[in-house]
Structure 1
Amino acid sequence: MKVLTHVPGAVLAFLFLFGGINYFFPMSPMPAMTGNPAKFMELFGGTGYMTAIKVLEILGGVLIILPAHRAKALLILGPIAVNILFFEIFIQGAPGIGILLVALVGVQAYIDKAKFRVLV
């Protein structure tokens, strides 16, 4: 049963590390965006915003691999996951992987809830 507590962290690590590294070193093609998503990304394209987010995704992905640092990783990845979900709902018009990301962050936060008690 203890192994199951590592599954959400492992999946989050894979998804965020893949997304972050794929931004800098494309391994799989990004699907073409049209409409509002394309306009949104065009606005952020030259600002460095996405670069900063992708660096944080990689940092969070590395930290979540280490059980002692999972709470710190969730403080980085949680807001990113919520923003991905909001992008999908409000700009893209259809939720996608953001639901899974937010759910996994929530499950991992519940598993590590003792580490967050100092914040209350």
Structure 2
Amino acid sequence: RGHLEDVYDICWTSDGNYMASASVDNTAIMWDVNKGQKVSILNEHKSYVQGVTWDPLGQYIATLSCDRVLRVYNTQTKRVAFNVTKMPPGSGAEGEARSYRMFHDDSMKSFFRRLSFTPDGSYLLTP
């Protein structure tokens, strides 16, 4: 057993050798399916991890949580490569700079935040 709480999403590498799981225990886990072992526990989120996806080339895992953070992990280093929380600042009323949160918190009606890379890995689509 890997997670301490319920699992809400899983994803596979394109070759089927690795899997990632996302849980309400605030973690995502990378698994080696052939060995039946955990490769890494990704535990930087502060709330439920409700979506996980592996990029088509197997270089990145992206997770989305109701802590309103999208994290992209490098699968080689097992470290966060990118954090996304807000849109870049834009012009607001009367020339003031404004930034907006990109993701909903736990008040969103849906409990799932399933994200997905495009087949060529060029884009990451998130709810």
User: What is the TM-score of this pair, normalised by structure 1?
Assistant: 0.21
Indicate the structure with greater strand content.
2
User: What is the TM-score of this pair, normalised by structure 2?
Assistant: 0.21
Higher relative contact order (CA closer than 8 Å, sequence separation 6+): 1
